[in-house]
Amino acid sequence: MNYVILDLEWDGSYYPKINGFMNQILQIGAVKLNAGFDIIDTFDVIIKSSFSKRLSKRFTELTGITKEKMLSGMSLNDAFKAYNYWVGDDAVTMTWSNSDIYTVLENEKKLLSGTKLKLEKYLDLQKYIQGEMKLLGIECNSQISLLNAAIALGVDVDEAALHDAKADSLVCATLLKRFYNRERFNALVTDASAPDFFERYTFKPYYITDISNGDIEKTQLDFFCPDCKKQLKIKKNWKSRFGGFNAVLQCVDCGKEYNANVKFKKMFDTVKVRRRLSEKKPVQKDINNE
């Protein structure tokens, strides 16, 4: 088995056919690693835009890809075919976050007919590295950049070279080799050939706002008095607000009232629930106004 770290560079351009903007892939860079995570091959191609002769100033400044380089590149279809031949069989493909997966899907759907980027097994390397950082006691946000991860982990990088697809892949390879743990790594590898793989990655989580929705587990709306341990009764019915449900509950034994809030976030194959209960404080009268 080989390991492939894939990186894409793309630019947002107006596409007349869809009457809107899309992110078009303009560079594919990748490194192939053996079982010891030593680099055995690299891949790097620049792609000619399928519909635009322009590049954004920001894209050129970040990547160093000029209009002239882009226009002399190969077609997206040929680039995908060349990559598929290069990657071979039985490989775990990694990207820094799954945003590249979204971009691949968008380009396949809007710019290609039939050609698909080869993906057999997949791992989100950003998610894996962030997990290792947390185990080391290093705080990181939910979407840490490759540069910030490298700096936090003491890996030397050439900041000027980043945002080149191949260069980014090489930095990823260094991080992976240094912080590889077989058990934790394998736990995050997913089968990209599964029928629901791309559907899972394109699914956008949302908060359920209809209390009669069948995905809601009604027992999650039950709360108990922190003091009496008895189930609270509804004083004011559940109302949808700010992506969740609020209600005023009361304990029939001690008479205390509580504000309850429950949020149901629909994920691809589960529902995440967040529950909060806080005691209502009695309104203090202003004796000076009496």
CB neighbours of residue 244 within 10 Å = 20
**pLDDT of the residue at 286:** 55
CB neighbours of residue 19 within 10 Å = 7
% pLDDT > 90, the chain: 71
Is 263 within 8 Å of 249 (Cβ atoms)? no
Is 151 within 8 Å of 98 (Cβ atoms)? no
Region 193-221: mean pLDDT is 90
Answer whether residue 285 is part of any domain. no
Region 200-219: mean pLDDT is 91
* 174 and 216, same domain (yes or no): no
% pLDDT > 70, the chain: 95
CB burial of residue 99 (10 Å; 0-12, 13-18, 19+): middle
Cα–Cα distance measured from residue 116 to residue 52, given in angstroms and rounded to the nearest whole number: 22
Q: Compute CA 37 distance to the chain's CA centroid, rounded to the nearest angstrom.
A: 24
Mean pLDDT of the chain: 91
Q: Tally the domains of the chain.
A: 2
End of a domain among 202, 235, 254? Answer: 202
* 110 and 210, same domain (yes or no): no
Residue range(s) defining the domain that contains residue 245: 206-279
pLDDT(284) > 70: no
Answer whether residue 290 is part of any domain. no
**pLDDT of the residue at 287:** 52
Region 195-213: mean pLDDT is 88
* 128 and 215, same domain (yes or no): no
**pLDDT of the residue at 289:** 53
End of a domain among 144, 174, 202? Answer: 202
List of residues 6+ apart from 288 with CB closer than 8 A: none
**pLDDT of the residue at 195:** 83
**pLDDT of the residue at 193:** 87
**pLDDT of the residue at 57:** 93
End of a domain among 177, 202, 227? Answer: 202
* 122 and 21, same domain (yes or no): yes
**pLDDT of the residue at 55:** 93
- Residue 11 maps to which CATH number? 3.30.420.10
* 167 and 41, same domain (yes or no): yes
**pLDDT of the residue at 285:** 57
**pLDDT of the residue at 139:** 83
Cα–Cα distance measured from residue 266 to residue 264, given in angstroms and rounded to the nearest whole number: 6
Answer whether residue 57 is part of any domain. yes
In sequence order, what are the beta bridge partners of 33?
3, 39
Region 60-76: mean pLDDT is 94
**pLDDT of the residue at 281:** 81
pLDDT(157) > 90: no
**pLDDT of the residue at 110:** 93
pLDDT(208) > 60: yes
* 95 and 50, same domain (yes or no): yes
Cα–Cα distance measured from residue 105 to residue 25, given in angstroms and rounded to the nearest whole number: 11
6 closest CA partner among 87, 89, 116, 105: 87
* 166 and 265, same domain (yes or no): no
Quick: pLDDT tens for 86-122.
Answer: 999 989 999 998 889 989 999 999 999 889 999 999 9
Region 196-210: mean pLDDT is 88
* 165 and 229, same domain (yes or no): no
- The structure tokens listed for 42 are 């690299």
* 148 and 222, same domain (yes or no): no
Of the listed ranges 79-93, 139-153, 171-185, the least confidently predicted one is: 139-153
**pLDDT of the residue at 288:** 56
